[in-house]
Homo-oligomer: A and B are copies of this chain.
Amino acid sequence: MLRPAAAVALVIALSGSGWAARQAPPPAVTIPASIDARKDAYAAIAKQIWDHAELGFQEEQSSALLQSTLAGAGFSVTRGVAGMPTAFVASYGSGTPVVAIIGEFDALPGMSQAAGVAIRQPLTAGAAGHGCGHNLLGTASAAAAIAAKEWLARAGRPGTLRYYGTPAEEGGGGKVYMVLAGLFADVDAVVGWHPSDRNSADAASTLANIGATFRFSGAASHAAAAPDKGRSALDGLEAFDYMLNLMREHVPQETRIHYVIKKGGVASNIVPDAAEGEYQARHPDMRVLQSIWDRILKAAEGAALGTGTRVEHQVTMSYWNVLPNETLAAVQHRNLVKVGGVNYSAEEQAFADAIRATLISPAAPMGSQSGVQPLRSGAVGAASTDLGDISWNVPTVEMDAATFVPGVPAHSWQAVACAGSSIGIKGMIVAAKTMALTAVELYGDPAIIVAAKAEFSKRRGGDGFTYATLAPPKPPLDYRK
């Protein structure tokens, strides 16, 4: 067992108002050194959020902790933005450029797991856990913001720095509503990161993703005495599935359509009058996906029509693919190389080896955490994120840092174990330093933003582009309840 990262005493200090002022680094200190100086405090914050493990839109404590940290460092905080109690914006400075750093902090259901332990061992069976490392995500972004704010203060330059506390990345789509509320309207560039099993800063994209619940209703009847009087809602749902499977041949091969059945009838002697499934469709381009989605809706209607049932659906997620920005990626990658990767202590290495032993064919080789991947362009990851929606509204760059043992996938118990350990903290610090350096470079060199915006405009397809989303008009605040 690895010693979990924790420094409870420091947290209290960090969280207190005026903390940044008291612990401010001397002017001569570099950005990496400034972050290293507060590493234990950040580790303690990350561990507290890991302990809270709060689900999307319910991240009261996690959000409050990050808010107080930023407020204590001199940011002015507005909470409850865009109709979401746990969303907030922390701002410093004024004028342009406006640079935004993104923080997430929601956990995943059912992923409770002891930290720093190389076997599956839930802390509380069925409870939530940080399987995507968002405890690190929000904290590193706060650390980066604080370091960049200090630089801005020292430099005496104009410029606005904002930290966006974005809830419910794992399904609720907090960023979508912050975009819709206009909170990104004046932002010039967005800097973000994500926990990973490697260090990289590609101009990569993700899959656009639309998810929905489809509910079929029919007429119940005794399945032996009067099946002709019944109309099976499950028939409707299975006919829908059937036509979706036929559709696979007739969509671009990069498309993904997947589903599960959540309600398929109560008892086998009753014709089911209600059936329900969760469906997702993905494609590298949201505009293509929206046209596929239209066909999916028609398949549902056709299934209901053909089986004498009714169908209704509720979109639960609509995430655009990330629009990459090579201009910003080049800057971030350069800074990542400068910061370098993660080096394990002997104890950490032993833990990492034990974790590796639980993985099936891990792709990334052991040791790769200490290096930085070469800069690539054009890749499309299989994941989806609501950062995508921001990226079609503001030039956006995202990087990965090696918070997980090489080969550990997100949404695994191994990821939870790493996210709560000193390995996770080390990766978090890499991210914090890199993002801070990137933000500072954006303030220092206005030409970068000009170039990034030009690339952004071209990639979006010029002035004709209008952002639109299939997400529900109001945040689904109870989607995890």
The B-contacting residues of A in range 164-199, CB under 8 angstroms, are none
Contacts of A225 in B (CB 8 A): 382-383
Instruction: Tell me whether A445 is interfacial, beta carbon within 8 Å.
Output: no
- With both beta carbons as reference points, the residue of chain B lying nearest to A268 in the complex is identified as B278
A251's partner among B222, B228, B258, B259 (CB-CB below 8 A) is B228
Distance, CA A246 to CA B241, complexed state (A): 9
Contacts of A265 in B (CB 8 A): 259-261
Distance, CA A280 to CA B269, complexed state (A): 7
Interface flags, A197-235, vs B, CB<8A=1, else 0: 000000000010101000000000011111110111011
Residues of A in contact, count (CB < 8 Å):
69
The B-contacting residues of A in range 240-294, CB under 8 angstroms, are 240-243, 245-254, 256-262, 264-272, 275, 277-280, 282
Distance, CA A257 to CA B245, complexed state (A): 13
Instruction: Tell me whether A60 is interfacial, beta carbon within 8 Å.
Output: no
A253's partner among B207, B253, B300 (CB-CB below 8 A) is B253
Contacts of A224 in B (CB 8 A): 207, 209, 256, 258, 280, 282, 382-384
Contacts of A307 in B (CB 8 A): 243, 246-247, 299, 302
- B245 engages A249 (CB within 8 Å): yes
CB distance from A171 to the nearest CB of B (A): 10
Distance, CA A307 to CA B306, complexed state (A): 12
Distance, CA A266 to CA B384, complexed state (A): 19
Distance, CA A299 to CA B264, complexed state (A): 20
- B260 engages A227 (CB within 8 Å): no
- With both beta carbons as reference points, the residue of chain B lying nearest to A235 in the complex is identified as B246
- B306 engages A243 (CB within 8 Å): yes
Interface flags, A287-330, vs B, CB<8A=1, else 0: 00000000100111111111110000000000000000000000
Distance, CA A301 to CA B254, complexed state (A): 29
Contacts of A209 in B (CB 8 A): 224
Instruction: Tell me whether A51 is interfacial, beta carbon within 8 Å.
Output: no
Instruction: Tell me whether A238 is interfacial, beta carbon within 8 Å.
Output: yes
Instruction: Tell me whether A239 is interfacial, beta carbon within 8 Å.
Output: yes
- A256 engages B223 (CB within 8 Å): yes
Contacts of A270 in B (CB 8 A): 260
Q: If A242-B242, A249-B245 touch, does A260 touch B256 (CB 8 Å cutoff)?
A: no
- With both beta carbons as reference points, the residue of chain B lying nearest to A247 in the complex is identified as B307
Distance, CA A300 to CA B302, complexed state (A): 9
Distance, CA A153 to CA B260, complexed state (A): 65
- A278 engages B282 (CB within 8 Å): no
Distance, CA A260 to CA B250, complexed state (A): 15
Distance, CA A373 to CA B217, complexed state (A): 38
- B238 engages A246 (CB within 8 Å): yes
Q: If A227-B249, A250-B230 touch, does A268 touch B264 (CB 8 Å cutoff)?
A: no
A249's partner among B232, B277, B409 (CB-CB below 8 A) is B232
CB-defined A-B contacts under 8 Å, sample of 22: A222-B409, A224-B256, A224-B282, A224-B383, A226-B382, A234-B260, A235-B243, A235-B249, A243-B303, A243-B306, A245-B248, A249-B257, A249-B258, A250-B271, A253-B254, A258-B269, A260-B266, A261-B261, A264-B277, A298-B305, A301-B302, A305-B305
Beyond A246-B307, A299-B306, A306-B306: 9 further Cβ-contacts under 8 Å?
A: A211-B268, A224-B258, A228-B253, A232-B249, A235-B246, A238-B238, A239-B246, A253-B253, A301-B302
